[in-house]
A and B are shown apart, each in its own frame.
Chain A
Amino acid sequence: GAVVSQHPSRVICKSGTSVKIECRSLDFQATTMFWYRQFPKQSLMLMATSNEGSKATYEQGVEKDKFLINHASLTLSTLTVTSAHPEDSSFYICSAPLLAGYTGELFFGEGSRLTVL
């Protein structure tokens, strides 16, 4: 079946450094991918929609310069957390719709837990 894979699954970094998280669709092409952030014991909050070949669309309140999204190909989207700070520590999850006629059914990556010291 369709699989979305994220890497790394866990990353620890020092404050002020940048961290890149990759999201790959393994056996299908994804022109659109979604990036979510999940705080402990809370729901998923949509951060941005990644669009292959064009700029990402960010949700209100999400800093574009801090969370850089690049959709380099039909199977890869990356999220870079720039100048990370402890408050950026969170569980980041990407997802992609399998069907071009997207109706809400998403395939999710395993998530990437970022810890900023």
Chain B
Amino acid sequence: AQSVTQLGSHVSVSEGALVLLRCNYSSSVPPYLFWYVQYPNQGLQLLLKYTTGATLVKGINGFEAEFKKSETSFHLTKPSAHMSDAAEYFCAVIITGGGNKLTFGTGTQLKVEL
């Protein structure tokens, strides 16, 4: 069965610094990979997704992620953090033709400091 592991339940960066949130997946078949963001007391919002094609995908709010099959990773990055980026970030995976169920990682709480 597929799964995702997010390293670091809490990440703290300074405003303007690079944001790097790590996600590794486990899947025996090519996966679809997603990053979702959750602001306090809200539902999740899709940041970006990888299905096929270009391995570097760009999302909303300046975020991007790169699918690296050799490393089974899909890390989320943003060159310059903004205070409004403070939120919970979830990596998720779905295997094609596998019942269409998203499996979420445990989440990473991003804190942005002045």
Contact = CB atoms under 8 A, between A and B. Distances in A.
Note whether A and B form a binding pair. Answer: yes
B41 interface: yes
Contact of B34 (A93, A102, A105): A105
Interface in A18-70: 34, 41-44, 46, 49
Interface in A60-117: 93, 95, 97, 102-111, 113
Contacts of A103: 32, 51, 94, 96
Consensus secondary structure, chain A interface = strand
B42 A110 contact: yes
Given A42-B106, A97-B100, A103-B51, 7 more contacts: A6-B43, A34-B102, A46-B101, A95-B43, A107-B46, A110-B41, A110-B43
**Most chain B beta carbons < 10 A, residue from A43, A95, A107:** A43
Nearest to A101: B100
B97 to A, nearest CB: 10
A5 to B, nearest CB: 10
Interface residues of A, number: 24
Nearest to A93: B43
22 contacts: A9-B41, A43-B90, A43-B104, A44-B44, A44-B90, A46-B102, A93-B43, A95-B43, A95-B44, A97-B100, A102-B100, A103-B32, A104-B32, A104-B49, A104-B92, A104-B100, A104-B102, A105-B34, A105-B46, A106-B44, A107-B46, A110-B42
A101 to B, nearest CB: 10
Contacts of A4: 43
A109 B102 CA distance: 16
A113 B44 contact: no
B46 A106 contact: yes
A102 B95 CA distance: 12
